[in-house]
């Protein structure tokens, strides 16, 4: 599997797929199995920024195998992205807190979410 880097200005690390727009990143997620994604929130488009991209990942259930990271200098939108990933993403929060960020198994097309206490 490969890794996805979403950023319009900073170059991707060697071996990563570099998407400069949120739409390009969605096309990559839909066509290639992605292990890990590192996302920026301030992109060229005001509307199609990193927050919009996370919402689209949730809408179309296009998530990388491991919980995405955010590498943005905009702390406000970066925090919003991390919150959305936590709320909308199919990742087990217990496993994430304990250093295991692998996506839980999906049965019959649905992700089992932990029950709220």
Structure-model confidence comparison of residues 98 and 50, the more confident one: 50
Model confidence pTM above 0.85: no
CA distance 41 to 73: 9
| Structural domain boundaries, residue 25 | 2-111
Is 117 part of a structural domain of the chain? no
Of the candidates 72, 75, 114, which has an alpha carbon nearest to the alpha carbon of residue 91?
A: 114
Domain count, the chain: 1
Is 105 part of a structural domain of the chain? yes
Residue pLDDT, tens place only, 56-103: 999 999 999 999 999 988 889 999 999 999 999 998 765 555 555 555
Residue 16 pLDDT > 90: yes
Is 116 part of a structural domain of the chain? no
For residue 70, what are its two tokens? 């955010």
The CATH number of whichever domain residue 48 belongs to comes to 3.40.50.2300
Is 49 part of a structural domain of the chain? yes
| pLDDT at residue 44, as a whole number | 85
Is 29 part of a structural domain of the chain? yes
CA distance 70 to 83: 11
Percent of the chain past pLDDT 70, that is, above it, reads: 79
């Amino acid at each position: 599997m490969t890794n996805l880097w979403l950023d319009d200005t900073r170059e991707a690390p060697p071996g990563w797929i570099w998407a400069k727009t949120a739409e390009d990143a969605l096309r990559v997620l839909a066509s290639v199995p992605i292990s890990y994604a590192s996302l920026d929130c301030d992109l060229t488009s005001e509307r199609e920024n990193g927050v919009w991209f996370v919402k689209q990942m949730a809408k179309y259930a296009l998530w990388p195998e491991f919980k995405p990271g955010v590498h943005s200098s905009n702390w406000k939108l970066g925090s919003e992205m991390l919150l959305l990933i936590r709320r909308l993403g199919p990742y087990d929060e217990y496993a994430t807190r304990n250093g295991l960020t692998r996506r839980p198994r999906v049965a019959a097309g649905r992700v089992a979410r932990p029950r709220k206490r």
